[in-house]
Amino acid sequence: MVTDTDQHADAALASPSLDELAEVARQVSAAVQTVISGKPEAVRLALTVLLAEGHILIEDVPGVGKTQLAKALARSIDCSVRRVQFTPDLLPSDITGVSAFNQELREFEFKPGPIFANIVLGDEINRASPKTQSALLESMEERQVTVDGTTYPLDRPFMVIATQNPVEMEGTYPLPEAQRDRFMTRISIGYPDRDSELAMLDSHGSSSPLDDLKPVAHASDVRALVLAVRDVHVSAAIRQYIIDLVNATRSAAELRLGASPRAALHLLRASRAYAALDERDFVIPDDVQSLAVPVLAHRLLPSAEAMVSRDMPYQVLSAIVQRLPLPGR
C-alpha cells in the first residue's frame, strides 16, 4: 500500500491549476501542431520539458522541422526567443554577451548575449567549438551567466532547444557524454507520414503558418505552470521504479555506460510534467515508461558486443523497460 507522500504533495493539490495547466498545454500544443502536423508526441515531449524546466536536444536529419518546432513553441508562448546558429568560429562571448566600455558613461556596460531569452534555439550545436559548447551548457545547468566577475541570472522560464544533425558529421564536434547528460530529453522528429506531408504541402505551400501563429500563453503562465507541476505527487513506488530502471541500465551487459543520477532526477521531473499534461496529480509507471527512452537513451553508451550486433541503446532500454518488474505486486 502506498502511503508515502512527496515533499511537494502536502499542499492541497491545486486541481484548478492542474486543469488550467492542461488547458494551457492543450492550447499551446494545438498552436504548435498547426505548424508541425502529425507529430503530437514530439510536441508533447517538448511541452513536458518546458514544464519540467529542462532542455531539449533534437537530433534528426535536415528539413524535418527541428527549427520549426522550436520556433512554433516559442511563438505560441508570449516570451522572448533567440536563435543562435552555431558555427566553428562562434565564440563563447557571442552567446553569453560581453562587457563593453560605454564612452558616455565612462564605465563598462554588459551587453547580454542571445542566451538571455526565455527560449534559446541553438541550431546545429555540434558545429561550434567545444569551448563555445561548454559556455552554453554551463549556463543551461546554472541558469545564470557570469561575465567579468558579475553574475547575471537568466529569466524564467528558460529552455534551450538545441538541434543536431547526425548525418553530416564532418568538421563537427559531437557533444561529449557529460554534455549530452545536461539535456533532459533527446527527441527525433522523424519524417511525417503521407497524409501529414500532404497537408503540409497544402498549408506551407503559399505562406508559412509560423507567421500566423499568435501567442496563446504568457511567460508568467508558464512560470505558474512550472510551479504547479512541482506539486504532482510521486509515490515511493514510482521513485523506487525510477531507481530500479537507472540501475538496470548500469548493470546491463549491452551498455558500457549507464544512466547518471542526474538522469534519474531528470526522469522524475519529466514524469511529473508528463502526468500533469495528462491532468493527473500523481505519476504512474506508464509516465516513466513513456519517458524512459527520450530521457535516458542519449546518455547511454553501448558495449562493444552491442555495437557489433547493432543493438542501439534505445533498443536495449526498451527491452529493459519491458523486462523490469514494477515495484510491489
Partner 1 sequence: MNPRLTTIAAIAVCTASLSLSALIRGDGWLIAGVGAIATVALAGVATRLPMPRGTVVTGLVVLVAAAPLLAGPSWYGPLAALALVALVCVCTVGGKLPRSLAILATYLGCLLIYLNAVFASGASLAVVIPTHHSMSVLSALPGQAFSAFHFAPPIPEYKGVSLTAAAGIGLVATAVDVLAVRLRHPAIAGLPLLVLFSVPVASNLKAFTIGQGFAFAVGLAGFLMLLSSDGRERLRMWGRLVTFRYLRPGEEEVGRDPDTREIAASGRRIGLTAICLAIVVPLIVPTLGAHDLFGISGDGSGGGAGGAGGLDGILGQVQQKLLAKPAPVLTYTTTAKSPAQQYFQVYVLNYDAARNEWLPSASTLRAVAGSRLPAAVPGLTNAIRAATVQTSVVTKGDASGGAYLPVPYAPVRLSVTGAPTGWLELAGSLMLYGGDEPNNLRYTVTSREADPTAAQLQTQALVPSGIQADYGSYRGPDASKLLKIARKETAGAPTAYAEAVDLQRWFRSSGAFSYTLKPKLPDSRGWLLDFLTKDRRGFCQQFAWAFAVLARLLNIPAQIAVGYTAGTPVSNGRWRVTTADAHAWPELYFPNVGWVRFEPTPGGSAGQGTATVPSYAVSPAAGKSGTNPGAPLPTPSATAPAGRANRAAGNRFARLGQPGRGNATAPPGSGFPFAIVLPVLVVLLAAAPRAVRVLSRRKRWLAASGDAGLAHAAWRETIDDLADFGLARTPSESPRAFVRRIAAEEAMSPAASQALARIGAAEERARYASSAPPGAGLPRDVVAVRRAVAASATRSQRLRAWLLPASTLTAVGRGMQRAGGALNWLDMSLPSAARQLRRAVTSRSA
Binding mask 241-280 for partner 1 (x = CB under 8 A): ----------x-x--xx-----------------------
Cell of 135: 559556455
106 versus 323: smaller Cβ distance to partner 1: 323
User: Is 9 a residue that touches partner 1 (CB under 8 A)?
Assistant: yes
7 versus 103: smaller Cβ distance to partner 1: 7
116 contact partners, CB below 8 Å, separation of at least 6: 80, 82, 97, 145, 152, 154, 155
Q: Which stretch binds partner 1 (CB under 8 A): 101-109, 114-122, 162-170, 298-306?
A: 298-306
The least distance separating partner 1 from the CB of residue 9, rounded to whole angstroms, comes to 5
Specify whether the CB–CB gap between 259 and 246 falls below 8 A. Answer: yes
Q: How many CB atoms lie within 10 A of CB 143?
A: 12
Site for partner 1 in 12-51 (CB under 8 A): 13
**Which of 131, 150, 305, 309: binder of partner 1 (CB under 8 A)?**
305
Give SS3 for 329. Answer: coil
3 versus 206: smaller Cβ distance to partner 1: 3
CA distance 31 to 222: 15
31 versus 268: smaller Cβ distance to partner 1: 268
151 versus 322: smaller Cβ distance to partner 1: 322
213 versus 238: smaller Cβ distance to partner 1: 238
CA distance 121 to 83: 5
User: Is 304 a residue that touches partner 1 (CB under 8 A)?
Assistant: yes
Backbone dihedral angles phi then psi of residue 115, each to the nearest 5 degrees: -70, -20
60 versus 181: smaller Cβ distance to partner 1: 181
Site for partner 1 in 214-243 (CB under 8 A): 233, 235, 237-238
Cell of 258: 549507464
CA distance 6 to 307: 40
- Geometric angle at alpha carbon 314, from 324 and 143, rounded to 5°: 100
49 contact partners, CB below 8 Å, separation of at least 6: 55, 56, 159, 184, 185, 270, 273
CA distance 194 to 64: 13
The least distance separating partner 1 from the CB of residue 139, rounded to whole angstroms, comes to 29
Half-sphere exposure of 12 (CA within 13 A, CB side): 4
Q: How many CB atoms lie within 10 A of CB 163?
A: 22
The least distance separating partner 1 from the CB of residue 136, rounded to whole angstroms, comes to 27
**Which of 282, 312, 314, 315: binder of partner 1 (CB under 8 A)?**
282
Binding mask 79-108 for partner 1 (x = CB under 8 A): ------------------------------
* Contact residues: partner 1, CB under 8 A: 1-3, 5, 9, 13, 233, 235, 237-238, 251, 253, 256-257, 281-286, 289, 303-305, 321-326, 328-329
